[in-house]
Amino acid sequence: MTTPEPDAPRTEPSQSSSKRAALVFNPIKVDGPALCALVEQHSSGAGWAPPLLLETSVEDPGQATTREALGEGVDAVLVAGGDGTVRAVSEAMRGSGVPLTIVPSGTGNLLARNLRLPLDGQELAVAGAFDGDTVEVDICVASLRRPDGHVEEHAFVVMAGMGLDAAMIANTKPELKKSVGWVAYVDGAARSLASAEPFRITYEVVKNPIRRGQTQAIPTSARLRSAKVQSILFANCGELPGGISLIPDGSVLDGELDVAIMQPSGPLGWLGVWRKVWWDNSVLRRTRAGRAVLERRGRDASVRYLRGIAAEAATPLPQEVQLDGDEFGEATRISCRIEKGNLLVAVPKGHDVRAKQPKADVQAATGEATAKSS
């Protein structure tokens, strides 16, 4: 392909192009007019037909609008909004084979972070929808049994949880989250801890390998266990804002579901949880010397990690549930399974989704946290 000289007249793309993109965006989280104009510009430059521009709403956080776009036969979908919007759109995109482009927006950007995508601009992300690479990303499905026995199914891309983490999200003030971002969860956690009580769960983790060509893991047999916990997490990946690694070695590309069981012993036990998540996972594990320290120290019972392709937890008393940071009411049972590579994601050309966090970012996160604690 020959690149025209700078003063050469621009050739208008054919309006009969068979390719078309759709932008699904949360108008509360993003500058809608500016983003729409950017997507229209890149569509035109790529020779694609004018894009579908679809807003989410309280009634429809993204599933219906995305299905509408897929029904129109679009070749690419871009999503812009918070983690809840990304979850809703991903749920509708699951298994479609149409590439999903994540335009970093909102406060968490958790899936974008775990794919090592740049968070400081929309231009590169939008360009990747039309001339980027594609990656097969794992997606999880959660089946929730409500207290009345009703069962419903939802997909998630980052993390599901039952117990204190869900109560923390439910207790986070929306106005505080809007003003200070993900740090607002600290306030929610502080108010949730005051009334937090451990609860009994029966759980199992299925480790059967997924056969070639199979995307849905069907639990067969696993050992039932019982534990008294504050929270149980089912994770597709493990990186949080601020360089915090909640799930060590968690990845959206490995076809495995990570389970974290929080069992702090008393109020001081939460110091052990914090040390495990922030210092051990997010700092020590990133260096050879740090990993040697962890090996000498031995196990920490405050957080227990398991891994498989499916997992389930049941409790006699209803508990709060969250999916990708959104509250989903109460449930007495949650069953999660991994679907390996069942979500196709578009990334900028040449982007390495497996690249580790640069050391400078880790040092910055560590320094920032140290400064706050001093």
37: domain CATH number?
A: 3.40.50.10330
Answer whether residue 220 shows pLDDT above 60. Answer: no
Q: What pLDDT sits at residue 170?
A: 53
pLDDT tens digits, 204-216: 999 865 554 555 5
The better pLDDT of the pair 3, 53 is held by 53
Q: What pLDDT sits at residue 108?
A: 73
The better pLDDT of the pair 184, 153 is held by 153
The residue segments making up the domain with residue 182 are 139-340
372 lies in a domain? no
Nearest residue to 277 via CA among 305, 311, 253, 298: 305
Q: What pLDDT sits at residue 222?
A: 58
> Are both 148 and 281 inside the same structural domain?
yes
> Are both 195 and 305 inside the same structural domain?
yes
> Are both 35 and 181 inside the same structural domain?
no
Q: What pLDDT sits at residue 299?
A: 61
What's the number of domains the chain is made of? 2
Q: What pLDDT sits at residue 66?
A: 97
> Are both 53 and 180 inside the same structural domain?
no
Over residues 110-132, mean pLDDT: 91
Answer whether residue 282 shows pLDDT above 90. Answer: no
Q: pLDDT averaged over the chain? A: 79
pTM: 0.78
- The H-or-E segment that residue 341 falls in is strand 326-347
> Are both 33 and 77 inside the same structural domain?
yes
> Are both 112 and 151 inside the same structural domain?
no
118 lies in a domain? yes
Three-state DSSP class for 230?
coil
Q: Which of 28-37, 98-107, 282-291 has the lowest mean pLDDT?
A: 282-291
The better pLDDT of the pair 240, 190 is held by 240
Residue with the two structure tokens 């794992």: 138
Q: What pLDDT sits at residue 351?
A: 92
Q: What pLDDT sits at residue 275?
A: 60
Task: Record the tokens describing residue 3, joined without a space.
Answer: 């690149």
The better pLDDT of the pair 139, 11 is held by 139
The one-letter code for the residue type at 291 is: R
> Are both 214 and 156 inside the same structural domain?
yes
92 lies in a domain? yes
> Are both 101 and 144 inside the same structural domain?
no
> Are both 101 and 152 inside the same structural domain?
no
Considering 97, 131, 165, which residue would you say is the last residue of a domain? Answer: 131
> Are both 117 and 150 inside the same structural domain?
no
> Are both 124 and 152 inside the same structural domain?
no
Band the pLDDT of 166: cuts 50, 70, 90: confident
pLDDT tens digits, 292-344: 655 666 566 678 889 999 999 999 999 999 999 888 999 999 999 999 999 99
Burial category of 358 from C-beta neighbours within 10 Å (exposed 0-12, middle 13-18, buried 19 and up): exposed
Helices (H), the chain: 32-45, 63-71, 83-93, 110-114, 123-131, 164-170, 174-180, 184-193, 269-274, 282, 288-297, 359-373
Over residues 343-366, mean pLDDT: 66
User: Do 263 and 199 touch, CB atoms closer than 8 A?
Assistant: no
Considering 101, 131, 161, which residue would you say is the last residue of a domain? Answer: 131
> Are both 186 and 229 inside the same structural domain?
yes
